[in-house]
Amino acid sequence: MSRPQVTNRWLVVAGGILVQLCLGAIYAWSAFTGPLAAPPYNFSALDGQWVFAVGLFVFAVVMALLAGRWQARSGPRIVTLAGGLTLGVGYVVAGLAGTSFWGILLGIGVLGGAGIGLAYVCPIAALVKWFPERKGFITGLAVAGFGFGALIWIKLTQGFTFGPLRLSGDWGGLYGMGLSVNQVWTLYGVLFAALISLGSIVLVNPPAGWRPAGWVPPETTAAHTGGHDFAARRMVRTPQFWGLFLAFLFGSTAGLMVIGCIERFGSDRLLAGGLSASEAAVIGGTAMGLFYALFNGLGRILWGWISDSLGRRRSIALMSAAQGVMMLALFWIGATEWGLYLAAAFIGFNFGGNFALFPAATADLFGDRKVGTNYPYVFLSYGLGGIAGPLLGGWMKDLGTRSGDATTWTWAFSIAGCACLVGAVIMFMMRPPKASGRPAEVAVEPLHTAA
């Protein structure tokens, strides 16, 4: 374990947010799908979604199989640094790959996904230990950077234009400066490596057994407030683990599907409503680049804050139910400009909440000290959702293009919506696991307090 060298735990928050801002670049993928569909790349919708899906899947697998255990053994700083360098190299590789599908898949999908997987869990694992008295809020604040990062990198690429509002004046982003997609990736690779390395400096764990001054976990509910620590091998044998896994799988499938296709879906629906191609493209880009990305970040903070009062189980059930209803209605609500903005904001808000609620719920159910090694196993569901959601959306888009039938979108949205409703039922019925009596899993360490 790394020895803490910071005296203010809010510095750890700042470092974690900086790291997450860079990792959130994967959600800026929509800024590249348009150029990739045009010459000289000529990617199909499914081709573009494969890069995105592989990146998400590798992200989850590396986090589960390597990052969780490595950071538990060596501390968050070194693992975060390794993740930042891997992510940076991946984007540079994609930048040098030209129009090669396999080169871009290797750079952004495999190496980029691995870099995110290494670094992502480190701020979460460290901050749950530094802030045990407000796990939901602090987890949401940390991972909010991931959501807001998408907004930053999309708009840096395309220009800070939101419909008629042109915050960057005539500056059209890196594309407007004449940079190609490959050149943007190369620049981002260098920035990611540098910024994540900077953020990793303050990412350290508190001393073993440390608690904030005056805070004592409620003894009567210790079994489900992080008071008992379940080893991963025991956790995966509980129904509560599989309940979390399925609810996260369904929620991530819906959210990642919309990230991957909202610009193209919005353009299809608005073109059918009589708008020009250029108008539809601007509105679709604003739906993703402003409303989805902004509310994705806000959802991480607000759902985390809500859950500290309402409870994690009720919060996840409510969030999943709301997401399911919106996904079922998306095809019709998204047929107008402001309907598309509303749907994007609502889905982004709920999708962002997943990343505050599920790590905090894992800590509640299976222990604060083990969250760095346990949460990656729950997070594997996100990797599966990263394949199912984007590929289902891309497949339906290509099917609709070939058949001339835009209603194929409803199949993808309905499947995801029904799955979210099932997830809500699962979480509503969930109860805390029984605490293990094994000393290795419930041992109480000597306490240290600090302001």
DSSP letter string over 284-319? HHHIIIIIIHHHHHHHHHHHHHHHHHH-HHHHHHHH
Confidence of residue 165 (pLDDT cuts 50, 70, 90): low
pLDDT in tens, 359-374: 889 988 998 778 888 9
| pLDDT, position 167 | 61
Per-residue pLDDT, 279: 82
* Interacting residues of 33 by C-beta distance below 8 A, sequence separation 6+: 43, 45, 48, 260, 263, 264
Where is mean pLDDT largest: 165-174, 317-326, 354-363?
317-326
Q: Where does 145-200 show beta strands of DSSP type E? A: 161-162, 165-166
Residue 237: pLDDT above 70? Answer: yes
Alpha carbon separation from 85 to 1, 12, 65, 192, 203 (Å, rounded): 21, 20, 19, 8, 16
316-325, 350-359, 402-411: least confidently modelled range: 402-411
Per-residue pLDDT at 446: 33
The listed range with the strongest mean pLDDT (50-64, 88-102, 214-228) is 88-102
- The structure tokens 């799908």 sit at 33
Does residue 312 register a pLDDT over 50? Answer: yes
Q: Are strands 161-162 and 165-166 parallel, antiparallel or unpaired?
A: antiparallel
pLDDT for 6 equals 53
Which of 423, 397, 363, 353 is CA-nearest to residue 235? Answer: 363
Q: Which of 407-411, 415-419, 435-439 shows the lowest mean pLDDT across its residues? A: 435-439
Q: What angle do CA 436, 440, 441 make, to 5 degrees?
A: 40
In this prediction the pTM is 0.79
User: What is the percent of the chain where pLDDT is above 70?
Assistant: 90
434 pLDDT band (50/70/90 cuts)? Answer: confident
Question: Could you give all domains of the chain from N- to C-terminal order, each with its CATH number?
Answer: 10-207+229-434 (1.20.1250.20)
Cβ atoms of residues 262 and 288 within 8 Å? yes
Q: How high is the mean pLDDT of the chain? A: 86
CA distance 192 to 197: 8
Q: Which of 98-107, 122-131, 210-219, 362-371 has the lowest mean pLDDT?
A: 210-219
Measured between alpha carbons, how far is 385 from 418 in angstroms, rounded to an integer?
14
pLDDT of residue 302: 92
